[in-house]
Amino acid sequence: MISEIDIKNVDNAGMYDLIKSFPEQAAEAIDIAKSAKLKLSLSKIRNIVITGLGGSAIGGDILRSYSAGQSPVPIIVNRSYTLPQFVDKNTLVVVSSYSGGTEETISAYAQAKKKGAQILVITSGGKIGEVAEKSHGSWIKIPGGLPPRAALGYSFFTMLTAFQKAGIIRAKQAEVKETLELLRNVSDEYSDYGNNPQPLKLAEQMVNALPIVYSSSERLDAVNLRWRGQISENAKTVAYGNLFPEMNHNEIVGYSTLRDVLMRFTVIYLLDKEDHPRVKARFDLVKEIIRPYCMDVVELHSQGKSLLARMFSLIHFGDWLSFYLAVKKGVDPTPVTNIDILKKRLSRLN
């Protein structure tokens, strides 16, 4: 169990409140995107590249996974200074940078302009916001002042709504409504630490563990990535993971030697009711094989009817887990000291 004092002792910047208010942030993001003026020519779009890093890129990953069966054109996420060679006037480049100052994304943005691509900018301001405002192109300005990882509602739901407005993917208002309602319900449940909610229970089991996150590759690959990023940034604990069925063709063999290390593993299965039947069978069989080598194997099932709701049910669980893990470890979830050190040292090389 934890108390309000435990949280106040470590949560100096209010990460608890940011996670708890995520459903309201998502709803606000939808309203912001609905009122945005977009200048996109859908008939000319042949492919979509979402460029960004870290907390600004994960929204693109989730959108790519969610829309895989809906988008008539391929969508990729670019985490680099450079754009793919195929980018041209028939490409929609979504420039996602929460701060507007991410150097890799600034570089990719400049290339998109040179290549004559259609561009949609999602940012709170910064250098990217300045360029977007001067170009009078498609720009969705979102509220600033948050850690990028705590702004997923702005980075994902603005993009989703923009894609629906542009006709890139079909609007599914019932799915969005269900997702927001589910998020509000589970946020109330998970934030009530006095009742020892499930994310807190799991965090208590994982204080001294190395988290290993597994999921299917079809729908939950981006959710898997979000989990690992949140655990690393909030709980200051390295988290690893992989996808089924690929993991079955290589990584599974590693559960053999270094048994003292393996026994620190808490393996977390992120499961969905629409996982491929053969993948479901693989989950069960792999669990039997690796269980003797691990500290624990935990299964978490998505909630909700629609794919969007199911994805965000797991995402929100992971956000709360990472927060409670930080509290149990006695570390402030907000600072990202090593990232700040790296950025400062990179600036000296300019």
131-178 tens-digit pLDDT: 988 887 788 999 999 999 999 999 999 999 999 988 888 878 999 999
Once rounded to an integer, what is the mean pLDDT over residues 293-307?
97
220-272 tens-digit pLDDT: 999 999 999 999 999 999 999 999 999 999 999 999 999 999 999 999 999 99
DSSP, residue by residue, 322-336: HHHHHHHHT--SS--
The percentage of residues in the chain with a pLDDT greater than 90, rounded to a whole number, is 86
Distance CA 57, CA 185 (A): 26
Instruction: Name the active-site residue from 141, 233, 316, 328.
Output: 233
* pLDDT score recorded for residue 63: 96
- The upper half-sphere exposure of residue 250, i.e. CA atoms within 13 Å in the direction of its Cβ, equals 4
H or E stretch covering 162: helix 152-166
- Burial string for 54-73 (b: 16+ CB within 10 Å, else e) reads bbbbbbbbbbbbbbeeebee
Which fold, 195-329? Rossmann fold (3.40.50)
Handedness of CA 62, 152, 336, 260 (dihedral sign): negative
CATH of domain 36-171: 3.40.50.10490
Distance CA 123, CA 144 (A): 8
185-227 tens-digit pLDDT: 999 999 999 999 999 999 999 999 999 999 998 889 999 999 9
36-171 matches 195-329 in fold: yes
The chain-wide mean pLDDT, for the chain, equals: 94
Distance CA 40, CA 28 (A): 22
* pLDDT score recorded for residue 204: 96
DSSP code for 140: E
Of the pLDDT bands very low, low, confident and very high (cuts 50, 70, 90), residue 20 is very high
Of the pLDDT bands very low, low, confident and very high (cuts 50, 70, 90), residue 306 is very high
* pLDDT score recorded for residue 37: 85
Q: How many residues does this entry show for the chain?
A: 350
* pLDDT score recorded for residue 169: 86
Distance CA 38, CA 119 (A): 10
Catalytic residue status for 233? yes
DSSP, residue by residue, 44-111: G--EEEEE--GGGTHHHHHHHHHTTTT-SS-EEEE-SSS--TT-STTEEEEEEESSS--HHHHHHHHH
Q: Which residues sit opposite 216 in a β-bridge?
A: 244
Of the pLDDT bands very low, low, confident and very high (cuts 50, 70, 90), residue 329 is very high
75-110 tens-digit pLDDT: 999 999 999 999 999 999 999 999 999 999 999 999
> Please, are residues 117 and 51 in contact by the beta-carbon 8 Å criterion?
no
Question: Omega before 211 cis (within 30°)?
Answer: no
- Which sequence spans correspond to the domains of the chain? 36-171, 195-329
* pLDDT score recorded for residue 94: 96
* pLDDT score recorded for residue 174: 95
* pLDDT score recorded for residue 133: 87
Q: Which two tokens stand for residue 190?
A: 């998970």
Catalytic residue status for 343? yes
| Cα diameter, the chain | 60
Token pair 């700040």 is at which residue?
A: 340
Neighbours of 256 (CB within 10 A): 9
The pTM of the whole model exceeds 0.85: yes
Smallest Cα–Cα separation from 164: which of 155, 154, 173? 173
Instruction: Name the active-site residue from 37, 136, 249, 344.
Output: 249
Q: Which two tokens stand for residue 267?
A: 């393996």
* pLDDT score recorded for residue 280: 97
Of the pLDDT bands very low, low, confident and very high (cuts 50, 70, 90), residue 281 is very high
Smallest Cα–Cα separation from 27: which of 267, 136, 187? 187
H helices within 173-270, ranges in order? 173-191, 198-205, 221-234, 259-262
